[in-house]
Chain A
Amino acid sequence: MFQFKSMVASAAILIGSATISYAGCGISGGNVSILANDFPALHAVVSAAEACAGDGVTISKNHTKEHNSLQVPGLTANPAEYSVVVLANSSLVPLMGEGLVRPLDDLVAKHGGSLQKHQLVTIDGKIMAIAFMANAQHLFYRSDILAKVGVEAPTTYEEVLAAAKAIKSAGLMDHPFAFNTAPGWNLGEEFINMYMGTGADFFKPGTAEVSINNEHGIATLNMMKALTEYSNPDFLTFNSDATQALWEAGDLALANFWGTRAGPIMDAEGSTEEVTSNTVVASAPFLGDGPRPSSTLWWDGFSIASNVSDADAEASFIAMMNGISREMVMANNDLTVWLIDGYKPSATSAGVTATAANGAAPYPMLPFMGTLHGAAGAELSEFLQGSESAEQALADIEAAYNAAAKEKGFLD
């Protein structure tokens, strides 16, 4: 009913506009305001969308690293400060839970002809976001070092441990492995990745009750601990920048990094020819004989605010369709892994593609996933430092999660 009315209304506007003026992208007028994170791939998208400005269409943007803090209040205000918000799987759910983003079915039907089916993010049958790029953490290895110790490229974390052991005992490196283990978001993400490899669920089916204090949780933690033994003793300060610097200095042979870091690692800047030419990206390893790689797949996409007029919503959608056009992808092919038609996979994107092809699962789109993520990130450092048992660490995560989930109304 609502959708039908808005379709009629916007169709009328479109017909009217065709006779009055014809702006760059066929928008009749309206205010588009985009909130996005601040990095080159998103700059490319938003700049392409900005080309639609003019003739009664105003397009403003805010690229900021604080987008997570701004999106809830910015979209709650009525009218919303932003008509478009660029987000990822993890940040879509909290917005949806508050009813801050609108279903896009009618807009997709009308203006989404160029979209591919896999770009549509649907929840309960309604399209809530349009995805346009992908990312995942996966394995990086140094082919020359592995060749020296005569080890094949590892496909499981057990083989990663064996390879690290061989490198260490051959005296090539003391700490051949690294992953992003700084407590907080990074460590929480590593926990979730590793746990995903077990194939088990984080929660009791159909509820928000966490259930990780089991044999899967223990296997996850024991593997993380075993890996940190081959990591530099400073591993609890490791974020992406720190680990990338280690890799570029030639101090690592095996690592688990974000796919988007492959480009900067393999370029000529910051490292020697020996390191860059022997760096190979591969699928994220499996945990034992687990059913899927120990990683989570991420997408970035956009949603349209609920608290804006239908006309502004339509203008915003058209502008963003222009932002994620084939031409934009062709001009910016290597900035990231695009999910858009026309993208040509490159050497640096092979890791993300292989991880997805091996059947890695997407980061769970659960409204309370972020709460568990935060609890895991905060409660694991004692265990990794060896001053706490795995059971205690898992119990701490559950306790921290329960307290936080109550505040959000997920648990009684």
Chain B
Amino acid sequence: MKHRTFIWFILPSLAAMVLFIALPIFSVFTQSLFVKHDKVLIEAEVCGPFGCKTEVSVDVAATAEIQKEKPLGKFNGFNTYTNRNHLAVKEVRSAWSEASSVAQFFGALLNLPFYKALLFTITYTFCVTPFVIVLGLFIAIAVNSLPPLFKGPTIFMSLLPMIVTPLVGALILFWMTDAEGIIGSTLQRIFNDNELSLKASKTLTWIMLMVYGIWASLPFSFIVFYAGLQTVPEDTLEAAMIDGANRWERIRYVVIPYIMPLVVFITLILLMDNFRVFEPIIGFSAQANATSLSWIIYNDLRGGEIQYFGSASATSMLTIIGVGLLLVPVLIRTWRDFNAKSV
């Protein structure tokens, strides 16, 4: 394709992305390098409906004076990235030198919020993604073999986990998995353990979140695979049949190579989305046992009355780097495909 044609085709899409994503990312990165100026604190009498007390408060005028000269704040370099609430370089180093065993080191490491979140994020990503891809493909193949009459309703019903907003969906599942809920009490009966609670134990909470994650993303991989199957050319399949390929071989050697671009696509998207896992943690109020990088960002921006943009920006940039590292293998593959394509 000629350069000029290419530009016209891509321009609208690119403009939207540059304006609303690239520029904000740049601004987010800049913000993460700054912290607020030192506030000028004074003691003043604070009175309210419940009496008076002398408290520390901010001298607004004096602080604004400092702010005026440098509106971005105090340049902090990468110190926000390395502080205790992010990469915690100093704390990790001292944990390393103080720890007498590897287990002790990891104990200290996982006491730091960033690494605690990272462990869950990575475990979640690598447990959920393969299940979703394989199960999604199987469901797509199975649904594709149904009589046409059943396909429509089946597709709709398969989409339901995606349609019901996680806001309410997770809330409903939260109550179903309660010790008195239908799933919770059924599990108690199955394992014959009246004290079994999915919400109290760390392991069970993780499993619950992952099962929810698989359930919630399966419709995505199923639908994409299903649409991909529709474009598999029939003559190639027939040729394979004539060559004596059995059912499994036809899937393995004809269908899968044909939908490989979609597999790559789904893997990319799933890795990325799972790495940013966050909604189920809020929905199941599981933050005691499982936190993720996105949850940290959420907590910085929406956890209370005060927003920590610098901190959230730093975690966001670290998330982008994490996603980048995660995608490297898939990207290398795409790169090879790309180069294999003739210009």
Contact = CB atoms under 8 A, between A and B. Distances in A.
Interface residues of A, number: 76
Nearest to B35: A407
Given A118-B49, A365-B46, A408 B288 contact: no
Given A99-B63, A122-B48, A184-B303, 8 more contacts: A90-B305, A122-B45, A123-B47, A234-B179, A377-B303, A378-B299, A399-B91, A407-B311
Contacts of B61: 99
B50 A399 contact: no
A99 B40 CA distance: 13
Interface string A368-392: 0011011001110110110010001
Given A96-B58, A233-B197, A403-B84, A185 B50 contact: no
B84 A400 contact: yes
Interface in A179-208: 182-185, 188, 203, 206-208
A233 B111 CA distance: 22
A378 B307 contact: no
A364 B299 CA distance: 21
Nearest to B171: A241
Contacts of B195: 233
A361 B84 contact: no
Interface in B279-298: 284-289
B49 A233 contact: no
Given A234-B200, A410-B39, A412-B38, A185 B303 contact: yes
A72 interface: yes
B250 interface: no
B147 to A, nearest CB: 44
A237 to B, nearest CB: 4
A94 B284 CA distance: 30
A362 B50 contact: yes
A208 B41 contact: yes
Contacts of A361: 50, 53
B170 to A, nearest CB: 12
B257 to A, nearest CB: 46
Contacts of B83: 403, 406
B304 A373 contact: yes
Interface in B89-142: 91, 111, 113
A97 interface: yes
B85 interface: yes
A407 B310 contact: yes
A121 interface: yes
A136 to B, nearest CB: 9
Contact of A99 (B35, B60, B200, B286): B60
Given A374-B306, A408-B308, A184 B287 contact: yes
Contacts of B310: 407
Given A233-B197, A374-B306, A123 B57 contact: yes
Given A134-B49, A206-B43, A407-B310, A96 B57 contact: yes
A134 B48 CA distance: 11
Given A207-B56, A366-B56, A403-B85, A233 B50 contact: no
Contacts of B60: 96-99
Nearest to A95: B305
B111 A409 contact: no
18 contacts: A94-B305, A97-B39, A182-B287, A184-B299, A184-B303, A203-B56, A206-B43, A237-B174, A242-B285, A361-B53, A365-B57, A371-B306, A382-B111, A385-B288, A399-B91, A403-B83, A407-B80, A409-B36
Nearest to A409: B36
B108 to A, nearest CB: 10
Contacts of B41: 206-208, 367, 410
Nearest to A72: B307
A239 interface: yes
A356 interface: yes
B193 interface: no
A89 interface: yes
A331 B341 CA distance: 74
A143 interface: no
Task: Across the A-B interface, give the 6 residue pairs with the lowest CB-CB distance, nearest first.
Answer: A409-B36, A236-B288, A124-B44, A233-B200, A381-B288, A97-B58
A382 B284 CA distance: 18
Nearest to B42: A124
Given A99-B60, A123-B57, A182-B285, A374 B39 contact: no
B78 to A, nearest CB: 13
A237 B50 contact: no
B51 interface: yes
B45 A68 contact: no
B305 A367 contact: no
B55 A364 contact: yes
A381 B284 CA distance: 16
Nearest to B80: A407
Interface in A231-248: 232-234, 236-237, 239, 242
A184 B286 CA distance: 11
Interface in B51-70: 51, 53, 55-58, 60-61, 63-64
A407 B74 CA distance: 9
A23 interface: no
A125 interface: yes
A402 interface: yes
A392 B107 CA distance: 13
B199 interface: yes
A302 interface: no
B50 A356 contact: yes
A98 B73 CA distance: 13
A252 interface: no
B187 interface: no
Contacts of B84: 399-400, 402-403
A237 B57 contact: no
A72 B36 CA distance: 15
A384 B307 CA distance: 27
B206 to A, nearest CB: 14
Contacts of A188: 304
B254 interface: no
Given A123-B46, A234-B197, A206 B56 contact: yes
Contacts of B162: none
B58 A365 contact: no
B44 A236 contact: no
A388 B179 CA distance: 26
B301 interface: yes
A378 B57 contact: no
Nearest to B314: A407
Contacts of A409: 35-39, 63, 73-74
- Among B35, B85, B299, B305, chain A packs the most CB atoms within 10 A around the CB of B305
